[in-house]
């Protein structure tokens, strides 16, 4: 399955690994079977391991900032690696493991460095702070082969603005997996939000 097939990659923060399985099943039930589990908590690696066992769910690791975290993520079963910035050692570690890696790159210099590493898909983060769709459109003009995955401040209100850009294969977002609902273990509500997100993406 293409991680961008649904044009939205849920960015998930899991505080308790016990929530990983029901959350993963909620994503699948909601028609959005992909998750970027961020390394912002101690539960990340264990959560990835649990979710990677769920049939039909593609799980990756996000907020990966060191080569060691790449190793932990891959060992846990992560299928792809996402980093908020561009570090050559992080990219190399993921490439050596044979995993797709999407580093953050938001300036011409960073994008050129990513291209030099053999990458053509980068994360544009934080998208809302760095100019949003207009900034991505401007960067895409000289970098015609680059695909941008905007994350940070993406919401139903501006989703169409991003997805209308040909250089944007998908966005990263957390509105369908809000921490409050995960903490409350309201996975039925998360399933409903995923359904709504998929329908909205299809209409864009």
**Residues designated catalytic:** 36, 123
Distances in Å between the Cα of 125 and the Cα atoms of 31, 160, 163, 185 are 25, 18, 16, 28
Largest CA distance in the chain: 46
User: What is the DSSP code string of 84-98?
Assistant: SS--HHHHHHHHHTT
* Tokens describing residue 185: 């273990």
If one counts every other C-beta atom within 10 angstroms of the C-beta of residue 128, the result is 14
DSSP H stretches of helix in 36-76: 44-51, 67-76
SS3 assignment, position 67 = helix
């Amino acid at each position: 399955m293409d991680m961008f097939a649904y044009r939205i990659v849920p960015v998930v923060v899991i505080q308790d690994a016990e929530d990983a399985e029901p959350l993963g099943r909620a994503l699948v039930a909601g028609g959005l079977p992909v998750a970027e589990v961020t390394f912002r908590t101690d539960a990340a690696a264990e959560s990835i391991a649990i979710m990677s066992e769920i049939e039909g769910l593609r799980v990756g690791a996000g907020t990966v900032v060191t080569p060691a975290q790449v190793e932990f993520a891959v060992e846990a079963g992560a299928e792809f690696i996402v980093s908020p910035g561009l570090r050559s050692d992080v990219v190399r570690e993921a490439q050596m493991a044979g995993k797709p890696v999407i580093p953050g790159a938001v300036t011409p210099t960073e994008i050129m460095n990513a291209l030099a590493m053999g990458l053509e898909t980068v994360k544009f983060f934080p998208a809302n702070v760095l100019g949003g769709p207009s900034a991505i459109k401007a960067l895409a003009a000289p970098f015609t082969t680059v695909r941008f995955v905007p994350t940070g401040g993406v919401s139903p209100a501006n989703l169409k603005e991003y997805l209308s850009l040909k250089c944007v294969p998908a966005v990263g977002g957390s509105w369908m997996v809000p921490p409050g609902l995960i903490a409350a273990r309201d996975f039925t509500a998360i399933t409903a939000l995923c359904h709504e997100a998929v329908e909205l993406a299809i209409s864009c």
